[in-house]
Every structure is written in structure tokens, then in C-alpha cells.
Amino acid sequence: MNRILITGGAGFIGSNLAEKLIKKGEYVIVIDNFYTGKKENIFHLLKEPNFKFIEHDIILPLKLEDEKINQIYHLASPASPVHYQRDPIKTIKINIQGTINVLELAKKTQATVLFSSTSEVYGNPLVHPQPESYLGNVNFIGPRACYDEAKRLAETLMMEYYRRHKVKIKIVRIFNTYGPRMAPDDGRVVSNFIIQALKGESLTVYGDGSQTRTFCYIDDMIDGLIKMMQAKDFLGPVNLGSPKELSILDLAKLILKLTKSNSKLVFKPLPQDDPIRRCPDISLAKKELNWLPKIDLEEGLKRTIEYFKEKLKKD
């Protein structure tokens, strides 16, 4: 049995990961301060004997040496543009001081740390699809920089702790991921469109909707993260995401079809520095991890629509 720490484990990706690892029989400790995560995401895990929750802000030092942790999934950070731009200086502190605290813990415990970086390190990319070798095109004084640059510097920290202190590290660049337990209020496109469609409200398309993204279903992402943690002698960075690129307008139309909604589309201004095209090159993940997303977009959206239908009934 591994003893695994998940920072940010009450969030969307973290809570799905915690659930999966517990099902596999691992011992899981979640640290979270509910900055963007929710108690209800981990409530059902509290009764599990091999699960422990610690409420803690990772900006403060982590004193967990006695827990004999051997793996750390470091996910704590606001992730959606709405959340990470709410308090940009805090976003920087969480990713920088928080990552230093996690790496110091790993140095003491010799645990392997997997850092959840992001496709945002490529900024508004000029290369398509984006391979890991692409160094990106980030506006470092723009409104997204608090997240993009903090994640880039956190990758630097990971590499320096590896080079100088021999900490065992892994870096994953996560591309847009969706599925059950996304926060309904975090402003991401999939949750916004589904909730708007289910409520019969207009779908808010930013810009003319021609900007592209790819969408990876949560179960595939969890599978990739676990494979990366288990991979021998491979520290990344590695892209994880769906390679199926589509425009935001096409996503809106697909969600209207799947929800059988009569909602209209309303066009709003495109936020500053919103990437115009994004699509991962996942050949490295294929080669090193034998990983490929399996759940197609329609199937994943159907499952997510069911989740939000139930949620709207309860709330």
C-alpha cells in the first residue's frame, strides 16, 4: 500500500483522484483549505478507514514527516480563469510558496512529487499542436500571468529541487479537463454551457466562438496522472489532454443537442489574452505512459450533463 498525499484533494480533479486511489486500496491523505474546493466532494470518503483529511493552507509550512508519505500529487491551486484572477497575488503565493513547502516536505520524506502544471504555460501558442518542447507565448504582464507565470516558475522549482536536492519529481501539463464535480460557479466553459442549457438560459459564447480547445474526460485524466506517478525514470514534463480540437461555437451546439435545450447563444467580449487555439501533442504520453484518452466527447458530456441535472435538482 502506498501512502499518498493529495494537495487540493477537495477540488474537481483531486477528489476524483482520491476516490480512485482509495478504491485501489491505497492510503490517502487530502490537504485542502476549501479555497475553491468543496467539503461535499470528499464527504463520502471520510468514513473510509484509509482516508484522512487535513484542513490546511499550503502557503504555510507542511509538517507531515510522521505520516510516512511516499507519493505526493500536488494539485492545490485555483484552476479556472475566474478563480485564479479573483486574487492574483494569492494565486502566485499558492503556486510558489505552496510548491516550495511541498518540495521541502518531499525532500525530508523522499516522497515522489507530481506537480499539476497546465497548458497555460504555452500561453497563446504560436505552434500547433503544442509539444512539450515548445516554450510558449505568455503575456507575462497580462491578467492570466498570475497563473501562467506562477505555474512556469513552479516547474522551475520542481526542476531545481530535482537537480540540487535529488527530489523525485514528475511534471504533468494538464489540458482542459471536465466531468462530474466541476464547480458550477467556476466559470469554465463546459460547466457554464451545461448549466445554462439545462436552465434554459442563453449560452454565453465569448468572442465569435472560433477559438478552440480540447476536452479530456476526468476518468482519462486520472488514469494518466496515476500512470505518470507509476512510470519509472520518466519525470516529464508531459502533456495530458484530449487531442480532438473543436471550436467553442461547436461545443455550444453539441451541448444544446445533448441537453435537447432551446437556449439561444449570446455573444460576449473575448477576455484579454484568451488563447485562440489550443491542442496538445500527446505523442510523448503515448510513448512513455502508453496513455490515450478513451472516452469520447459526446459520452463524457452525457455523463457530465447527468451530474449537473442531479445537482440542480438538489440545490
Active-site annotation, residues: 147
Q: Which of 137, 160, 271, 309 binds ligand UDP (CB under 6 A)?
A: 271
Residue 55 pairs in a beta bridge with: 32
Helix axis angle for 297-314 and 248-259, nearest 10°, is 60
Q: Which of 80, 95, 112, 259 binds ligand UDP (CB under 6 A)?
A: 80
Place of cell 484552476: 79
- Residues numbered 26-45 forming contacts with ligand UDP, rule: CB under 6 A: none
How many residues bind ligand UDP (CB under 6 A)? The answer is 16
**Residue 192 binds: one of ligand UDP, ligand NAD, none (C-beta under 5 to 8 A by kind):** ligand UDP
Q: In sequence order, which ranges of the chain are alpha helices (DSSP H)? A: 12-23, 81-86, 88-109, 145-165, 189-199, 218-230, 248-259, 283-289, 297-314
- Is the four-CA dihedral 18, 315, 295, 147 of positive or negative sign? negative
Place of cell 503556486: 95
Span near ligand NAD by CB under 6 A; candidates 28-36, 135-143, 155-163, 190-198: 28-36
- Residues numbered 40-59 forming contacts with ligand NAD, rule: CB under 6 A: 57-59
- Residues numbered 177-206 forming contacts with ligand NAD, rule: CB under 6 A: 177, 183
Binding mask 56-75 toward ligand UDP (x if CB under 6 A, else -) reads --------------------
Cell numbers representing residue 135 in the block: 516554450
Q: Report how far residue 19's alpha carbon sits from residue 157's, in angstroms, rounded to the nearest whole number.
A: 29
- Residues numbered 200-219 forming contacts with ligand UDP, rule: CB under 6 A: 204-206, 211, 213
The residues binding ligand UDP (CB under 6 A) are 80-81, 176, 187-189, 192, 204-206, 211, 213, 248, 270-271, 274
